[in-house]
Chain A
């Protein structure tokens, strides 16, 4: 199985599930549409990557999404963390989309033709997500005292989890200018939790999977 396809598929799947939690709960109607659209894009990416990841051993995208336990998921910890407030969600999206864009760009020029085709497709959507998140981070960071405080809190709380996202220098080159424009302090590097790529997750993933998988597992093989 392609471990890269599995990691990217799981990142996108778990991000889609988290973003979908905002449906009908976002701060305004336009953002409700935006988050649902981004979730849909992430789900589309997840289906492409997981279909490919499962082919080697005869598993479908549904097998991988609905019939694996937490220890078998390879998503980064950042993706599974709770949504928090809107600032936390936008910081998560900024950090994840920047990492996704870099990995998709590399894959699009890589030797695996199938992964290259998927990445060339998904990177266009990810670039739009990254831009959307960056605009919100700037607006909230460089906004009122309250929005600035909450955006800074979100960045500080999530920063440790960004060390797991892959190639650091290129990622920082995407994220640091956004934080600067948003008048936010770039947190110091320190604690760097990891384990998602090895299947060692936070407790949050189990609850997410329980909700995401319950219908499929309760009614195996059901169709409509």
Chain B
């Protein structure tokens, strides 16, 4: 019973990066049922000011209700802080397949490397803007194919 609740919570689509689920992003920390059967989902925000959190909470409750778990509780925790290292390999593949460069792993490089162009694969890319259309992204351009693309910045 908890496993289907876990699956329902993890399958909620991220409101801003609509190609990945919150399970892919690694922001679902825990799903458990109390003695009364009420499900509690624990999530963590990507960025402190992420404006999608209210929508995510509502979507989790709706997804669980649809899976037969009415009145689920959504709890937000901060610790340990979310990192882009928590994005799953499946999530990274989905991002890349839709033209959003996945983040490099944090801690492995001190100087940020240029992401490969998710469209043509060229490593010859240049950052246009360190901030992008959402808090978690930066804007890049490929020097080979000329296309601009988003990157989920390492965090």
Contact = CB atoms under 8 A, between A and B. Distances in A.
Contacts of A116: 79
Interface stretch (B1-9, B59-67, B128-136): B128-136
A122 interface: yes
A45 B79 CA distance: 14
A174 interface: no
Contact of A30 (B47, B77, B82, B128): B128
Contacts of B128: 30
Contact of A117 (B78, B135, B139): B78
A44 to B, nearest CB: 2
Interface in A37-60: 37-38, 40-45, 47-48
A121 B130 contact: no
A163 interface: no
Nearest to B136: A37
A120 interface: yes
Interface string A23-43: 000000010011011101111
A44 B133 CA distance: 17
A121 B135 contact: no
Contacts of A36: 131
B37 interface: no
Interface residues of A, number: 25
A41 B129 contact: no
A43 B53 CA distance: 14
A53 to B, nearest CB: 15
B78 A40 contact: no
Interface in A114-137: 116-118, 120-122, 124-125, 128, 132
A40 B49 contact: yes
A42 B135 CA distance: 12
Interface in A73-131: 113, 116-118, 120-122, 124-125, 128
B80 interface: yes
Given A30-B128, A116-B79, A117-B79, A122 B48 contact: yes
A141 B155 CA distance: 28
Contacts of B68: none
B51 interface: yes
Contact of A34 (B48, B50, B129): B129
A47 B81 contact: no
Contact of B80 (A37, A40, A45, A120): A120
A121 B128 CA distance: 26
Contacts of A42: 49
Contacts of B45: 44, 121
A41 B129 CA distance: 17
A44 B129 contact: no
A124 B155 contact: yes
Shortest 7 CB-CB distances between A and B: which pairs? A44-B49, A44-B48, A30-B129, A117-B79, A34-B131, A117-B78, A37-B131
